[in-house]
Structure 1
Amino acid sequence: MREEQIDIKTPEYVSLQFRTAGLGSRAAAFLIDQILLTIINILVIVVLAWVLNISSQNPYMEAQRIYSGTIAIVVVGMFVLNWGYFLVYEFFSGGRTLGKKLIGIRVIQENGQSITLLSSFIRNIMRIVDMLPVYYFVGMLMVFFHGKHKRLGDITAGTIVVHERRKKKANKKSAIEKEVASRGYDKDSLDIEESTLRALGAKEWKLLRTYSQRFTHVEQNQRLVLTRQVAEIILPKIGMEVERQTEQELENTLLVLYLKLKDEWEFEL
């Protein structure tokens, strides 16, 4: 199955290039997810059988009421698990389920932004149609014949499945990495959840990259002004205060933040 390169224009008019995920990689990721769900379902059934067996041996329990109540709860729980797995995992893990992570693909919106809760809900509720008549036959046909390898859920939700962007290989540390290391920091020094980092898009990345590239080439007075200006634009977007931090602290925060975002935005096709 061929995989095509596509160009996506973000709302900030930044052009990003991706390789769409074809039927093979998507099927492999789905198979991994289904194996995981099958294992969990089997474990739940085994535990349920054990609980019901224990209950049946207790003469002080009303067996019929326990059976019906427990089974109803488990059935509802398994339904929520099997249908909510993709929705929750994709949204909180940047468009990646466990299967997608292992295969190296992810779901994004057509504008290049991370998947939203609404778009994840729409694309996953449409699995009801994509799985018709059996074994996702409709979905597989759509992925195979669609120009961007989309199933109905992707078309309805405005999403697309692409290959992860590979990080650029570097044989030696960059000037910024050396600067950050000399200050006693690294990219893990800033503890920010991935869901928080999604507030920073291509526009913020370009600003932060420009700041970092110019950092070691400008005079100190200009650097202090530049640091304050960039910090006032970027840091509030991730819930960080600017006023209470010194220029030195702001520099450290911005440089470490640059290293964290670099893994996400600098890539090779």
Structure 2
Amino acid sequence: MFDNRIDIEIPEGLRVGAAPAGPIPRFYAWLIDQAIRIALYIALFMALSFLGKMGIGLAMILVFLLEWFYPVLFETLNHGVTPGKGLLGLQVVQDDLTPMNWQASVIRNLLRTADFLPLLYLFGLLSILIDRRFRRLGDLAAGTLVIHRPPPPAALETPRQAPRPPRWPLLPEEQQALLEFARRADHLTRERRDELARLASPLSGEQHPADDLLAIARWTLEGGR
């Protein structure tokens, strides 16, 4: 099976992955956003029609602004998620998986005109089908891509071990690794927990290394108390 999943190493030395969204979920998200916009257009014309020609002119200006800036506003203010994308579990990010900025959103949406050519988004569809990451022309120009939003991490239960401070102050990334170990500990055998915990020696002891790390994790979770 063709695997187009992205795996990128970020500056902190960690690797993050994401699955680009294909044409079908993106099409459904687009349909939902179009339906919302059409409903807004109808509401605008109905609300301003009592002003006569001036109201119609004002409504047309607002429709123009909504048509161009509806996606930009949502993508900029809602972490790359329009209502349609939100319902389909999609998100726009930079191609290095960092949050998108407003400049990129403006570029990718202004180039919808090029994607639409010559008819019914044909160029955009061809670009999505050809590109390994399913990027349309606007995405290629803006350095963005649409991904399936990863599920939220499972809630971390407080370890049963009595809290104990570490032997030295831990860096933020070390604390994060410690909490990730605590999150996965219940899904590992005792032997595997101890094996992984020994990698953190001398932070962990020799006899019960996993318990030592979980005690420090609880101390960290409780704010160092």
The TM-score normalised by the length of structure 1 is 0.60
Partner residue in 1 for 2:148 = 163
Question: Are the counterparts in 1 of residues 161 and 218 from structure 2 also a CA contact under 8 Å?
Answer: no
The 2-side partners of 1:205 and 1:35 are apart by 44
RMSD: 3.2
5 Å-filtered alignment, 1:41-52, equals: 41-52=41-52
The 2-side partners of 1:177 and 1:122 are apart by 51
- Counterpart AA for 1:78: V
- Counterpart AA for 2:157: S
Displacement of 1:79: 0.8
Displacement of 1:49: 2.2
Partner residue in 1 for 2:158 = 175
Q: Cα–Cα, structure 1 residues 218 and 4, in superposed 2: closer, same or farther, change >3 Å?
A: closer
Partner residue in 2 for 1:71 = 56
Q: Which runs of 5+ in 2 are unaligned?
A: 163-170, 183-212
Displacement of 1:33: 0.3
Q: Cα–Cα, structure 1 residues 218 and 209, in superposed 2: closer, same or farther, change >3 Å?
A: closer
Q: Which one of 76, 86, 100 corresponds to residue 115 of structure 1?
A: 100
Residues 25-72 of structure 1: CA deviation (Å, up to 9, x unaligned)? 1101001000000111111112222332xxxxxxxxxxxxxx24x333
Displacement of 1:14: 2.5
Displacement of 1:123: 0.8
5 Å-filtered alignment, 1:151-230, equals: 151-168=136-153, 174-175=157-158, 206-210=173-177, 212=179, 216-217=215-216
Q: How many residues align?
A: 184
Residues 159-193 of structure 1: CA deviation (Å, up to 9, x unaligned)? 111101023556xx5126999xxxxxxxxxxxxxx
Question: Are the counterparts in 2 of residues 11 and 111 from structure 1 also a CA contact under 8 Å?
Answer: no
Q: Cα–Cα, structure 1 residues 205 and 98, in superposed 2: closer, same or farther, change >3 Å?
A: farther
Question: Are the counterparts in 1 of residues 28 and 84 from structure 2 also a CA contact under 8 Å?
Answer: yes
Displacement of 1:110: 1.3
Partner residue in 2 for 1:100 = 85
If asked which structure has higher relative contact order (CA below 8 Å, sep 6+), I would say 1
The 2-side partners of 1:75 and 1:15 are apart by 47
Residues 208-230 of structure 1: CA deviation (Å, up to 9, x unaligned)? 5236455732797xx7xxx9xxx
The 2-side partners of 1:6 and 1:127 are apart by 25
Q: Cα–Cα, structure 1 residues 108 and 166, in superposed 2: closer, same or farther, change >3 Å?
A: same
Please state whether the residue corresponding to 2:216 is helix, strand or coil. Answer: coil
The 2-side partners of 1:104 and 1:216 are apart by 36
Q: Cα–Cα, structure 1 residues 210 and 3, in superposed 2: closer, same or farther, change >3 Å?
A: closer
Question: Are the counterparts in 1 of residues 79 and 99 from structure 2 also a CA contact under 8 Å?
Answer: yes
Displacement of 1:156: 0.6
The TM-score normalised by the length of structure 2 is 0.70
Displacement of 1:136: 1.4
Question: Are the counterparts in 2 of residues 6 and 18 from structure 1 also a CA contact under 8 Å?
Answer: yes
Please state whether the residue corresponding to 1:7 is helix, strand or coil. Answer: strand
Please state whether the residue corresponding to 1:143 is helix, strand or coil. Answer: helix
- Counterpart AA for 1:127: R
Please state whether the residue corresponding to 1:113 is helix, strand or coil. Answer: coil
Q: Which one of 131, 140, 165 corresponds to residue 125 of structure 2?
A: 140
Question: Are the counterparts in 2 of residues 8 and 110 from structure 1 also a CA contact under 8 Å?
Answer: no
Q: Cα–Cα, structure 1 residues 77 and 130, in superposed 2: closer, same or farther, change >3 Å?
A: same
